[in-house]
Structure formats: C-alpha cells, structure tokens
Structure 1
C-alpha cells in the first residue's frame, strides 16, 4: 500500500473512531435560554448588493464526488453498496482550493478495495510547482495531447492499470484531474458540459 493510500485509510479510521466516540457520549442537560429583547434598527444607507460573477451563476455546480464522475458510474458504485468520502485536493504537499478528492468504497468493512478520483482548478504556477515536487519524489512526467500526465513509479505503486500506471494526475489548461490509475482518469468528467 502506498503512503498516500495508507494516510487516507488512517484518516478514515480516525474519523470513524471520533464519530463513534462522540455518538456514544452522554447527552448534557440543556437549560432553557432566557428571552432577550430585540430592537429593530433601520439602516441609514441601503445594504450593498452582491455583484454577479462567474462563480455566483446558479447553474454552475461545485465539483463533488457525485458530479466529477458520470451519473452512470455513481449509480454503478452505489449498486455495489459503495459511498464516497470527500477530502481536500492535494498534489504532493500543495493544497488546491476549490477542488475535491474522493474515495469511493464500501466503508462498512475494513478494505483497501477503493477507487480514487479528484478534480481541481489550478493556475499555471501551481501546476508547475506541483509537477516539479512530484517528479522530485520519483514520479514520472509525460507530455500528451490531453495534457501533462504525472504518475507514480510503477515500482512503488500498490496497484497499476494494464499500462503500468498507478496514482496519476492529468494537468490541463486551468485544471488537474486525479485517479488511482491513468485509465481511471477517463472517468473524471468535470466540468460537466
């Protein structure tokens, strides 16, 4: 098992333990809050109205574990009893805001039989830094018509696809995709069009 997958499984175990401990904690008695007086104050100037921006478009969804892969893939996973856990999107030590990294699996039992997917918007500078860091750690970089693939070394990968690719990032123009294999990158279909 690779270090990132070990960290993910450890994080899941800690979160599950914390949830069980807090769920079993005795309830504390709550006292009735005392009513307080409310005084209405009229504003002297009108409140500022938010300006429309690309991110405030109500038709644009945020990337989630259910939206970065196709609805068919989500249904297939759910038919197996799988659910997803969302986490922050990391490329090496670099956290990419507004992205999502997902683990799909059956979390009712201890298993390493899971699928990993992720998507995040990324600047050119962040992409360059992330690729440099991964390559310095022994990952392999490949240019392709789709973008730049960066994949872990086949010698250290816990599982690989038919072409020998393990954990893989695909860097495109303003975005990065992630999956547990290069073949798995094909399942990441964000943004939906």
Structure 2
C-alpha cells in the first residue's frame, strides 16, 4: 500500500515537473553583441479632437440638451413640446422651454429644460420676479441659482433641489431639478 502511495506521489511530482518545464519561458541565449533596437511601428495619425464646441445651429428642444439625453428620451417614446419661456414674469422670446414626455398616455411624468439669452435689465427683472414669487437665491461659481421652495416642489433631486434657474452672463438655463441643469449643453 505504501509503495502505491509512493508511486502515485512520484507520478504526480513527475507530472508537475513536466508541466512546469513546458510552461516555463525559454532562457535567452547569451549574446556578445548588444540587442538591436527594433524601431516601433509608425503611429497612424488620429484626428485631433478639439475641446471647443461646434458652432451652435438653431435652438431646438433636441439641440438644447445632450445628444445622449435626446436618445434616451426617444428610446422611451418621449417627444418634446416647445413652450413659451417666461421667467419671473419676463417673457423671453429668444428662448425656449421644452417639456419632454410620453404624450401617448395621460401622465404628469416628464422633464423640463429651458434656455434663453437675456440682457442685464431683463435678468434683474426676472430675478426680482422670482424672489417675489418665493424662489430661493444662491450664488454659485458658475452663476446665480434660483430654486423653488422645496416644500412646494413636485420633485427633488438628491440634494433636495426642485425646479431651478441658473443665470449666467447673458443667458439663463432652467431644469426641473438643479442636477438636471448639467444636461443643458446649449451655449448660444
């Protein structure tokens, strides 16, 4: 019995030695001359990408937000309906408010996005109007935010913000949550 165990153990050991020898990389032959430098293959030129956005075309519900967002909405069966953009009682005829939803069913589920150019006077009037309506003002590094009172919001983002306007230099953005503002790519 012990001889069978010894024979089996020797067989396993021999098998391991053979497998290890087959899998081990071969040692390079010693060379008296230095290794030749092999030139690397020529790199194929790739198009240079620019961080500059393409010049904007026409402001539409589809061009205002990211292409990925438009694609996701379209795949869900959603379409956009443009609306008149009014901020704090100031009508912004150069702007656009879009409500994305599935209009084939009766529902209040959807997403709002807006963008408009506005001058200094209209921006001041719109901001005064929002404050008078009870919106909360916050200064940020990228502009001035006006957010609805969360107590009356229909929906809140992870940070507790509902509908939010962001005023920048000569423009205003709007989304149904503050986090939703990042989906607006239109720069005017």
Alignment TM-score > 0.5, same fold: yes
* Cα deviation, residue 174, structure 1: 0.5
Instruction: Indicate which of 91, 96, 115 corresponds to 2:111.
Output: 115
Instruction: Indicate which of 111, 115, 133 corresponds to 1:137.
Output: 133
Task: Specify every segment of 5 or more residues in structure 1 that has no aligned partner in the other structure, as ranges.
Answer: 1-58
Q: Is the 8 A contact 2:88 2:128 kept in 1?
A: no
Aligned residues: 134
1 CA distance for matches of 2:151 and 2:69?
A: 29
DSSP 3-state at the match of 1:171: strand
Q: Is the 8 A contact 2:116 2:172 kept in 1?
A: yes
2 CA distance for matches of 1:160 and 1:127?
A: 25
Query: Do residues 187 (structure 1) and 183 (structure 2) align?
Result: yes
Task: Specify every segment of 5 or more residues in structure 2 that has no aligned partner in the other structure, as ranges.
Answer: 1-54
Match of 1:48?
Answer: none
* Cα deviation, residue 87, structure 1: 1.2
Match of 1:165?
Answer: 161
1 CA distance for matches of 2:118 and 2:150?
A: 26
2 CA distance for matches of 1:125 and 1:146?
A: 20
| TM-score normalised according to structure 1 size | 0.67
Instruction: Indicate which of 56, 64, 69 corresponds to 2:65.
Output: 69
* Cα deviation, residue 160, structure 1: 0.8
2 CA distance for matches of 1:164 and 1:150?
A: 13
Q: How does 1:80-119 map to 2 (within 5 A)?
A: 80-119=76-115
| TM-score normalised according to structure 2 size | 0.69
